Amino acid sequence: MSATGGGIVLPGKSYTLTASTNTVFDRCYWYFPSRERLLHLWGWKICEITYDEGKDMQGGDFECTMDGATPNGKIAIMVAHKIEKMEIRVGNESEGYLEAGKIGTVFCLMSGGKPVGISNLTTSGNLNITAENSSVIESSNGEKSLSHKILVNVTPEDHGASIKCEGKQYDKSDPPTQLFETMSIGPQKLVVVFPPQPLDPLSFNGELAEEVKVIIPIHSNPNPTTLKWMAKRTINGSEELTELKNNEKIKIPKICKEIGEHKVNCSLTFKALATEDIENVSYELQAENKFGQEIYSFKILTPDSTTLPPQSTTSSSSTSETTTSTGKSSTSSSSTTPGGSSSTATPTPEGGGTSSYVIPLVIFIVIIVVLIGGMIAYKRYSAKRQTAPLSMQ
C-alpha cells in the first residue's frame, strides 16, 4: 500500500491512495478511519482512490479490503501543519548565558508542526562544539516537538557570537519533498560570562616628586564588582599587604572607565611619588566578579630603578561552579603601559656617571703640563749655556 508523499499530505491538496494485489479481485473498498466506505470497484489488480482537493481533510489509518481481505494492513495518513513556534535557549532557562571554560548547552526547540521536522543550528565564529543531537519530545496531550541540542566549550572570545536555527518539514516520498517554506529564528547573540582575565606583570615609569598614574586594563563579564589596591612591603624579611585608600598622597577613582564592551581601565594616581613608594615595595590590584578573581601585579620604576616587577598570581572563586583563570608570568625587562604601548625603563648603570671620563682627562692634562714644563726648562738651560763668557787660559 502507498500514498502520495508517503502518507504525509498538505491540507487542501489532492492525494492518492493505492493498494495492489497479484490477482484479480472481485471487489475492493477503501474505508476512512470512521469506517465510512469510500469506493467500490470490481475486477482490478489495483485498488486506487484520489482524494480531491477542497474536500475536508482527515488524518488517521486508512484501510483497503479486497474481496473481504486486508492486503498489507493499513496505511497512516498525516495532514501536515506548519511549525508554529521556534525558540533558541542558551544554558539553563533562567540564566540565558554560558560560562567560559565550562561545557554549556544551546537548544533549538520547534513545536506545533506535523511532521515534527528537522532543524539546522548554525553559529558564527569558531565555537568549540563537543557534541550534537536531536530528539523528539512528546507532551502529555500527544503533541510532539523537536529538541536540537549542541554542547559547546566557550571562551571569552566567543561572547557575541551569533546563533541561528532553521526548521524544515519533509514528506516521506523518495526523495523527500519539502512541505512548507523554511522557518527560522535568530541570529541571537551568545552571552558568555567570565572572570577578570589575566595580564603579564606591569611596570610604570615615574619621577620622584612627580605625579604618576597607574592604569590597569581589565576584561571581564560582568565588570568587576570588587576592587582592592594593595601595597606589598618587605619588613624585617617578611611581606605585609596593606590596602591603599584615597588620601593626601593617593587618588583612587570610585569607578573604572569604560573603554569597550566588558573592558574597563581602572586607575590609581600617586600625587607626588616618594622614595617610600618605590623602595622595598610592589603593588597589586585585586579584581573580582561573580565568576572569579584575578590579581594584577605592578611596580613603579624611576630612572635609578633596576628591579623588575614581581610575577602575577591568579586566584579563583571558591565555589566549584566558578571558572578559574590562570595568570601568566613574565620576566621581560620592558615596562608595559595599558593600551598596547610600552616603554623601557633606562636606569643609570651602577658605577656610572661622569667619573668614567673625568679621571682620564685629568691624567691627560697632567701629562701635557709636564711635557710643556720640561720643554721650557730645556730651552732656558740651552740659552744660558750660549750666553756664558769664555774662561781665559
Count of CB atoms within 10 A of residue 299's CB?
22
pLDDT at 342: 36
pLDDT at 251: 98
pLDDT at 112: 92
Q: pLDDT per position in the chain (393 positions), as tens?
A: 888 899 999 988 888 888 888 878 788 888 877 667 776 666 678 888 887 754 556 678 888 888 776 665 788 889 899 999 999 999 876 789 999 999 999 999 999 999 999 999 999 988 999 999 999 999 888 889 999 999 999 999 999 999 999 999 999 999 999 999 999 999 999 999 999 999 999 999 999 999 999 999 999 999 999 999 999 998 888 889 999 999 999 999 999 999 999 999 999 999 999 999 999 899 999 999 999 999 999 999 998 765 444 444 444 333 333 333 333 333 333 344 443 333 333 333 334 444 445 566 778 787 887 788 778 777 776 666 554 444 443
Helix (H) or strand (E) holding 207, with range, is: none
Question: Which domains are present in the chain?
Answer: 2-79 (2.60.40.1930), 85-192 (2.60.40.10), 202-343 (2.60.40.10)
Count of CB atoms within 10 A of residue 311's CB?
13
Count of CB atoms within 10 A of residue 361's CB?
10
Query: Which of these, 83, 78, 62, lies nearest to 11 by C-alpha position?
Result: 78
Query: Which of these, 46, 48, 60, 47, lies nearest to 9 by C-alpha position?
Result: 60
Count of CB atoms within 10 A of residue 266's CB?
23
CA angle, residues 14, 18, 23, in degrees to nearest 5: 155
Q: Which grid coordinates are listed for 62?
A: 486508512
Whether the model clears a pTM of 0.85, i.e. scores above it, the answer is: no
Question: Residue 46 forms beta bridges with which residues?
Answer: 20
CB neighbour burial string for 12-29, b if at least 16 within 10 angstroms, e if fewer: eeebebebbbeeebeebb
The rounded distance, in Å, linking the Cα atoms of 326 and 301 is 26
Task: Please give the full DSSP string across 116-128, using - where no structure is assigned.
Answer: --EEEEEESS--E
Total H helices, total E strands in the chain: 1, 28
pLDDT at 70: 61
pLDDT at 337: 41
Those residues with Cβ within 8 angstroms of residue 386's Cβ, 6 or more apart along the chain or in another chain: none
pLDDT at 72: 58
- In contact, 222 and 193? CB cutoff 8 Å: yes
pLDDT at 92: 74
The rounded distance, in Å, linking the Cα atoms of 17 and 203 is 82
